Structure 1
Amino acid sequence: MDYDTLVIGAGAAGMMCAAHAGGRVLLVDHAKAPGEKIRISGGGRCNFTNMYCDAHAFLSENPHFAKSALARYTQWDFVALIDQHGIPWHEKTLGQLFCDNSAKDIIAMLRGMLQSAGVDLYLQTSVTDFAKCNDGFTFTLNGAQPGTARNVVIATGGKSIPKMGATGFAYDIARQFGHRITAPEPALVPFTFPDRRFADISGVACPARVTANGPSFEEALLFTHRGLSGPAILQASSYWDAGQPITLCLAPDTDFSALLRDKRQSDGKKALTTELARHLPSRLVDYLSTHMDLSGRLGDLSDARIDRVTQALTHWHLTPGGTEGYRTAEVTRGGVATDHISSKTMQSQLVPGLYFIGEALDVTGWLGGYNFQWAWSSAMAAAHDLTS
């Protein structure tokens, strides 16, 4: 059990790194199968990258940290890889790239690459007694089998979706060797409201611009039994801090002020709610009418009332009670702090031979393929260093 490199975590980053690390490589995971998050991602079709991926779409204490790895292994490099393996793909929206057939195509590609590289893959295997030694690291597999490795790559991700085996293992290892942890939080996650105020319109969706702590995202908004979801909400959740309000702008492409003024002249007998239901879901208009004054006809609206209605629809302030937590969070915000990690190689600057890649680090991408691209890019940064 003497290896050049031990990679812990057989997810997207771990498999990608192990396949390119060179030498004798052991890839270990406690799950029954590799790439489980890949398998369930994108509705089973894996949103494997984004055409517009660059560092602006990532959160971190150090907003510059991701730049080097993303520039050295880009989204087009990964697209070239899947093209080489004959995996058909398509753009869905906003530059999001998906497999035509199944996310399993990506897993099969990575497993084939592991096999071609001669990587030893051990599943349902735990790593304990992890320690530094003169020639690298010592460890024990499943509490019984000792091993050594000159280099170790931690690719175990964050805490999101614990039912799939997510743990804080990466943080424990980082702390063991003196690294700081940026407080982990669920990200890309739905908001909850303790009063379940949207239960009556659960399932209603509409375009919206959602603002949280500065940044705004314009995509679909979904009302749920527990609160708010949909792409715009998931994006905003990565920037939200507990106790902060969020702002909803419903139907952001609609200029309600100009529209209602025009309709007041041309269609004055029409009810305000009838006109609003042409631009918003009728169930949502019914809900809003119980919380704001939407009574009367268009012809009776004063300029001041039009301004109040417009303000209510475009600056709807809400304070979530919380989020659905790691149970449904797509990723983890925070993680191993980057202040003692090389942005070019992902190697620890405190412990030579120790690398952290993927979601384990304090690098969190937007929804839409960005986090997978960070997995590929950070994995290749580490692999390049391991083979140099």
Structure 2
Amino acid sequence: MREIYDALVIGGGAAGLFCAGSLAQAGQHVAVLEHGPEVGQKILISGGGRCNFTNLEVSAKNFLSQNPHFCKSALAGFTPFDFLALVGEAGIAWHEKTLGQLFCDGSARQIVDLLLARMGPTPPRCGVNIQAVAHDGNFRLETDKGTFRAQNLVVATGGLSIPKIGATDFAYRLARQFGHQVIPPRPALVPLTFEAEWISALAGVSAPVTAQAGKARFAESLLFTHRGLSGPAVLQISSHLAPGEGFNVDFRPGTRLEDALLAAKRARPKAGLKSVLAEHLPARLAAHFAEAHSGNLADLPDKSLRALGAQLNRFAFHPTGTEGFAKAEVTAGGVDTAGLNSRNCGSKTVPGLYFIGEAVDVTGWLGGYNFQWAWASAHAAAEGIKGAQQDGE
């Protein structure tokens, strides 16, 4: 008889490895199948090689989905402090950066080693290409390394972001095969592109800003690039933009610039606009916005100063596009949560089939939230598999 696993996990990323480890810790017979040459590749490149593995403040408001409530149960079932406990047990030193973001003091490799250690003596199988998946009471996977059978199948193959490390649409194809809908995938947490020459001319300039699109507001830094805009504030706002939509940037949060410019005119009428703007903005950015206004502040009408100040507090940007999945940190959209059980990320129609991590239509903010969704959704699926087996005994 062919060996039948309790569960097969497709995908050796954060969610897949964590789910497999949680099952192995409970004595389940589990295997991870990874099509790439090694596991944890996205973990290894994240956070500048130090892995922003979670965030101290995590709630449903930090995630985008067609169903904003779907992630609540999984997030409540496995919190950042639950993962921190594992980090502590593994002796991994960590530190907090801005806005609750947690990073390894050392290398992201420590997180991969933690995940592999939880799996016990059975290592992931890499370089496995799945050719067909069938369900006949158990799941049967035909691969170039033979046939695998399991009672449960966990799909943790991620989205389309960063194809150079092996991203594919496998999860979406498999979801559709089993009757699930897929929310159209799109790049998220991605740099934005512009055709305006003045933007590329400012490449390298960074400024603390507040970016806003609708109700979404992010107070972080903006970076001008040769192709457009990047930096945390822009990456964050990109996830909230539909194609063709624009957003606003406050280049001086907390300061009403029209009042500041008028006050400077009264106090220092002979000062140049560029030098005054440079007190509030990076020098090159100040020079750009001042170049259309010659002379001293005294030479400029109050109306013009008010208009310029108001513009800088609510500057409208209209991107022409994004840098695509190649530069996107994550993929928005994915397997429709309407077909999944929010308690365990299991299929409502195919018993034993689970979708977790980035493959699902749950997309976190920048700052460790997507890793926390990977851990939480993986834990939920593992608990679902263990619970279903106990119910069947």
Give the TM-score, by structure 1 length.
Answer: 0.96
- How do 1:140-219 residues align onto structure 2 when only pairs under 5 Å count? 140-142=142-144, 145-219=146-220
CA-CA distance at 1:74 after TM superposition: 0.5
Residue 304 of structure 1: aligned partner: 303
From 124, 130, 145, the counterpart of 2:133: 130
Residue 10 of structure 1: aligned partner: 12
Distance 1:162 1:381 in 2: 27
Q: Secondary structure at the match of 2:222?
A: strand
From 112, 117, 122, the counterpart of 1:112: 117
Q: Give 2:361's aligned amino acid.
A: D
Q: Give 1:267's aligned amino acid.
A: R
Describe the superposition over 1:149-206 as per-residue Cα deviations: whole angstroms up to 9, x where unpaired. 0000000000000000000000000000000000100000000013554221111111
Q: Secondary structure at the match of 1:70?
A: helix
From 70, 74, 84, the counterpart of 1:79: 84
Distance 1:289 1:274 in 2: 9
Q: 1:328 to 1:196 in 2, by over 3 A?
A: farther
Distance 1:182 1:4 in 2: 30
2:269 and 2:297 in contact (8 A); partners too: yes
Describe the superposition over 1:301-347 as per-residue Cα deviations: whole angstroms up to 9, x where unpaired. 44322210112211211211100000000000000000010110110
Describe the superposition over 1:187-233 as per-residue Cα deviations: whole angstroms up to 9, x where unpaired. 00000013554221111111111122431211100000000000000
Distance 2:115 2:356 in 1: 17
Describe the superposition over 1:86-108 as per-residue Cα deviations: whole angstroms up to 9, x where unpaired. 10111100111111111111011
From 69, 93, 97, the counterpart of 1:92: 97
Q: Secondary structure at the match of 1:317?
A: strand
Q: Give 1:164's aligned amino acid.
A: I
- Larger mean CA deviation between 4-13 and 295-304 belongs to 295-304
- Larger mean CA deviation between 275-284 and 347-356 belongs to 275-284
- What is the number of residues matched between the two proteins? 382
Residue 355 of structure 1: aligned partner: 354
Q: Secondary structure at the match of 1:48?
A: strand
Distance 1:79 1:258 in 2: 47
Distance 2:280 2:198 in 1: 22
Residue 383 of structure 1: aligned partner: 382
Give the TM-score, by structure 2 length.
Answer: 0.94
Q: Give 1:112's aligned amino acid.
A: A
Residue 317 of structure 2: aligned partner: 318
Q: 1:300 to 1:195 in 2, by over 3 A?
A: closer
Q: CA RMSD in A?
A: 1.3
Distance 1:253 1:207 in 2: 11
1:191 and 1:227 in contact (8 A); partners too: yes
| Identity between Structure 1 and Structure 2 (%) | 48
From 36, 39, 52, the counterpart of 1:34: 39
Distance 1:312 1:336 in 2: 41
Q: 1:180 to 1:81 in 2, by over 3 A?
A: same
Residue 250 of structure 2: aligned partner: 249
1:187 and 1:331 in contact (8 A); partners too: yes
Q: Secondary structure at the match of 2:53?
A: strand
Distance 2:366 2:263 in 1: 38
2:273 and 2:290 in contact (8 A); partners too: no
- How do 1:214-363 residues align onto structure 2 when only pairs under 5 Å count? 214-290=215-291, 293-363=292-362
Distance 1:133 1:196 in 2: 59
Pair 1:50-2:55 in alignment: yes
Q: Secondary structure at the match of 2:174?
A: helix
Residue 390 of structure 2: aligned partner: none
Describe the superposition over 1:105-126 as per-residue Cα deviations: whole angstroms up to 9, x where unpaired. 1011111111x2x444100111
Pair 1:365-2:364 in alignment: yes
CA-CA distance at 1:279 after TM superposition: 1.6
Q: 1:309 to 1:194 in 2, by over 3 A?
A: closer
Distance 1:18 1:119 in 2: 10
Q: 1:225 to 1:28 in 2, by over 3 A?
A: same
Distance 1:46 1:24 in 2: 29
Q: Give 1:377's aligned amino acid.
A: A
CA-CA distance at 1:37 after TM superposition: 0.3
